[in-house]
């Protein structure tokens, strides 16, 4: 697709992240580039009631200091994360909202659970306290598009705005679709990303019942990996045409060059290496690039038995011999699995990887697994400048989304 | 009902919940031979935990291949629960 007449080159000019690794991109990258994990014992909810005790929680988040009380009444935690991340990204990009820009700019967000935490609070009152009604704002708080709507309202963005919900690939699909809209000229700018706040009782119990949450920590690709660690947070990227960005004096942070998606059409929870490999190939084709041009993959790398084995096979299938020369790390070992926000959080990790010439490690690694025999950058970040990278997101339900980024020189 | 052994109860729960003919679920049956996949296994653990009011450890559960191993594991957990209850009295 790249180089097709009429298609615009698209760059990332701003990023925002709130996660267990801090409240902005700088803190996020500081932790990733030094291999520091944000996984700790749960504090927001009593861990004694679960079969696991750890999560990657956002620490010291003071919503009342960030939002006025009237605004806060409409915002579940997941929408708060969306707005905080968008705010940082818009400021970094230095977006000037002219009438023409506002009218056509796009907002695409991803979230798997949306504001179910707010819903749960209302249902708790119904089921336990014999209340007969819930808060009148339960619907606007809990709807999964609340993040997109609030971003659109805050900046007066009146173009395409919607939310994608594809479980753990939600915000990768969101960023990819926004990229295509900007590339085609449909939107002159997009805010794209995702957010998730899944650390509420019912959500944690549902994950516990899946028996995929580690009682220890997140050890992707490690022989003794024992499951994922849930995380919360949000990330947003500003995407705009390269020539427009340069014309207004913005600094491109990286170029977004490809997006590929596929469906396993297989099993509802067991991943297929074939589906994942097809999404990676589609992203590289979309970028008009060869496997040999990529030096790094930010893996889906959940640290479940099934994902890491399947993802390794998929990477070997998509990259052939070049898989041996690729660095592949899972930053989920540090920021946890932020579910619907993961694709966007990891897209920001890719942008920073390309900008800084440092590969973030796979933290908590203890022992190699023959079924995951890739260069997974164990435990220590590595000084290495790669020219292009992929970000993998593979959702339950077999829905795969892969983004391709290129270094901006 | 009360005359049912732990083995009979466990096999009955698995057969009924998995919609398998009761006679097809024997101590010698394996998950594989019964065509039970990873999600079905999750459901079985959930059903057995409910039936016996026990908590089955993930790591232990992963090692189980045959119905006999499952029944033995449940027996251990039920015995431990009863001993705990007896001590509490």
- The distance of Cα A321 from the centroid of its chain, to the nearest Å, equals 28
- Tell me the sheet residues that pair with A197: none
- Partner A contacted by B46 (CB < 8 A): yes
CB A394 within 8 A of CB A311: yes
Q: Rounded distance, CA A233 to CA A80, Å?
A: 9
- Partner B contacted by A206 (CB < 8 A): no
What is the predicted pLDDT for the residue at A80?
98
What is the predicted pLDDT for the residue at B2?
62
Q: Rounded distance, CA A342 to CA A400, Å?
A: 13
Query: Which chain B residue shows the shortest CA-CA distance from A208?
Result: B58
What is the predicted pLDDT for the residue at A306?
95
| Side-chain half-sphere exposure of A253, counting CA atoms within 13 A | 22
Which residue stretches of chain B have pLDDT < 70? Answer: 1-2
Share of chain A above pLDDT 70, in %: 99
Token duo for residue A26: 């700088």
Give pLDDT tens digits for A336-346.
999 999 999 99
Q: Rounded distance, CA A110 to CA A82, Å?
A: 10
End-to-end CA distance of chain A: 21
Please report the number of interchain residue pairs, chain A to chain B, with beta-carbon separation below 8 angstroms: 21
Nearest residue to A108 (alpha-carbon basis) of A47, A166, A38, A27: A166
What is the predicted pLDDT for the residue at A3?
65
CA distance B62 to chain A (A): 10
Token duo for residue B52: 């016996």
State the residue range of the domain holding B36.
Answer: 6-88
Token duo for residue A84: 């905080």
Query: Which chain A residue shows the shortest CA-CA distance from B57?
Result: A51
Q: Where are the alpha helices (DSSP H) in A116-169?
A: 116-128, 138-142, 146-155
> A396: left (phi > 0), else alpha (psi -120 to 50), else beta?
beta
- Partner A contacted by B35 (CB < 8 A): no
Give pLDDT tens digits for A89-128.
999 999 999 999 999 999 999 999 999 999 999 999 999 9
pLDDT of residue A2 exceeding 80: no
pLDDT of residue A81 exceeding 60: yes
Token duo for residue A296: 């790094």
Q: Around Cβ A39, how many Cβ atoms within 10 Å?
A: 23
Give pLDDT tens digits for A187-211.
999 999 999 999 999 999 999 999 9
Q: Rounded distance, CA A325 to CA A89, Å?
A: 33
Q: Where are the alpha helices (DSSP H) in B18-66?
A: 38-52, 58-63
- The distance of Cα A320 from the centroid of its chain, to the nearest Å, equals 27
Nearest residue to A264 (alpha-carbon basis) of A399, A391, A395, A170: A399
Interface with A, mutate which of B41, B54, B58 (most A CBs under 10 A): B58
CATH code where residue B75 lies = 1.10.1200.10
Q: Rounded distance, CA A377 to CA A221, Å?
A: 10
What is the predicted pLDDT for the residue at A296?
98
Phi, psi of B70 (to 5 degrees): -65, -45
Domains and CATH numbers, chain A: 10-247 (3.40.47.10), 258-407 (3.40.47.10)
Inter-chain touch A51–B46, beta carbons under 8 Å: no
- Report if residue B37 sits inside a domain: yes
Share of chain A above pLDDT 90, in %: 98
Nearest residue to A368 (alpha-carbon basis) of A382, A355, A353, A378: A378
- The distance of Cα A208 from the centroid of its chain, to the nearest Å, equals 22
Inter-chain touch B42–A211, beta carbons under 8 Å: yes
What is the predicted pLDDT for the residue at A5?
76
Between vectors from CA A239 to CA A307 and to CA A281, what angle results, nearest 5°? 40
Token duo for residue A237: 């990227």
Give pLDDT tens digits for A257-309.
999 999 999 999 999 999 999 999 999 999 999 999 999 999 999 999 999 99
- Report if residue B1 sits inside a domain: no
Q: Decide: residue B4, CB within 10 A, 0-12 exposed, 13-18 middle, 19+ buried.
A: exposed
Does the annotation mark A218 as catalytic?
no
What is the predicted pLDDT for the residue at A4?
76
Nearest residue to A257 (alpha-carbon basis) of A293, A221, A233: A293
CB A36 within 8 A of CB A18: no
What is the predicted pLDDT for the residue at B27?
96
Query: Which chain B residue shows the shortest CA-CA distance from A305?
Result: B62
Indicate the pTM of the whole model: 0.95
- Report if residue B11 sits inside a domain: yes
Number of folded domains in chain B?
Answer: 1
Q: Around Cβ A182, how many Cβ atoms within 10 Å?
A: 28
- Tell me the sheet residues that pair with A237: A15, A192
- Report if residue B59 sits inside a domain: yes
Give the position of tokens 């694709």: A343
What is the predicted pLDDT for the residue at B89?
83
Mean pLDDT across A36-50: 98
A283: Cβ contacts below 8 Å, ≥ 6 apart: A258, A259, A260, A390, A402, A403, A404
């Amino acid at each position: 697709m790249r180089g097709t007449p009429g298609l615009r080159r698209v760059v990332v000019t701003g990023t925002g992240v709130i996660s267990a690794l801090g409240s902005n991109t700088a803190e996020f990258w500081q932790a990733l580039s030094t291999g520091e994990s944000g996984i700790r014992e749960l504090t927001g909810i009593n861990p004694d009631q679960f079969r696991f005790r750890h999560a990657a929680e956002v620490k010291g988040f003071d919503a009342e200091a960030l939002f006025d009380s009237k605004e806060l009444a409409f915002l579940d935690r997941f929408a708060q994360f969306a707005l905080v991340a968008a705010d940082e990204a818009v400021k970094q990009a230095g977006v000037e909202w002219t009438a023409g820009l506002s009218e056509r700019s796009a907002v695409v967000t991803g979230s798997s659970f949306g504001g179910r935490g707010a819903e749960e609070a209302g249902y708790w009152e119904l089921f336990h306290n014999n209340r007969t009604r819930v808060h009148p704002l339960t619907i606007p708080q809990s709807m999964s598009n609340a993040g997109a709507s609030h971003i659109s309202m805050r900046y007066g963005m009146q173009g395409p705005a919607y939310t994608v919900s594809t479980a753990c690939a939600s915000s990768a699909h969101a960023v990819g679709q926004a990229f295509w809209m900007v590339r085609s000229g449909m939107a002159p700018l997009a805010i794209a990303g995702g957010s998730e706040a899944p650390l509420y009782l019912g959500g944690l119990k549902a994950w516990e019942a899946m028996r995929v949450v580690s009682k220890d920590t997140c050890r992707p690709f490690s022989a003794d990996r024992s499951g994922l660690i849930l995380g919360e947070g949000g990330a947003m990227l500003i995407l705009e045409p390269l020539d427009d960005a340069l014309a207004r004096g913005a600094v491109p942070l990286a170029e977004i060059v490809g997006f590929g998606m596929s469906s396993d059409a297989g099993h509802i929870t067991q991943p297929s290496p074939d589906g994942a490999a097809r999404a990676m190939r589609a992203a590289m084709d979309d970028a008009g690039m060869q496997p040999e041009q990529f030096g790094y993959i930010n893996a889906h790398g959940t640290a479940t038995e099934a994902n890491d084995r399947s993802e390794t096979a998929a990477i070997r299938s998509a990259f052939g011999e070049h898989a041996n020369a690729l660095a592949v790390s899972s930053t989920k070992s540090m920021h946890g699995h932020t579910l619907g926000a993961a694709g966007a959080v990891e897209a920001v990790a890719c942008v920073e990887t390309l900008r800084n010439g440092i590969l973030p490690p796979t933290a908590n690694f203890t022992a190699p697994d023959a079924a995951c025999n890739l260069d997974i950058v164990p435990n220590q970040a590595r000084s290495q400048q790669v020219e292009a990278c992929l970000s993998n997101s593979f959702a339950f339900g077999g829905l795969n989304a892969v983004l391709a980024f290129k270094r901006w020189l | 009902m009360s005359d049912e052994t732990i083995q009979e109860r466990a096999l009955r729960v698995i057969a009924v919940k998995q919609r398998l003919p009761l006679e097809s679920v024997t101590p010698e049956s394996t998950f594989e031979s019964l065509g039970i996949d990873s999600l079905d296994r999750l459901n079985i653990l959930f059903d057995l935990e409910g039936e016996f009011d026990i908590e089955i450890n993930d790591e232990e559960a992963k090692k189980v291949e045959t119905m006999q191993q499952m029944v033995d594991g449940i027996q251990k957990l039920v015995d431990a629960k009863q001993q705990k209850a007896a001590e509490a009295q």
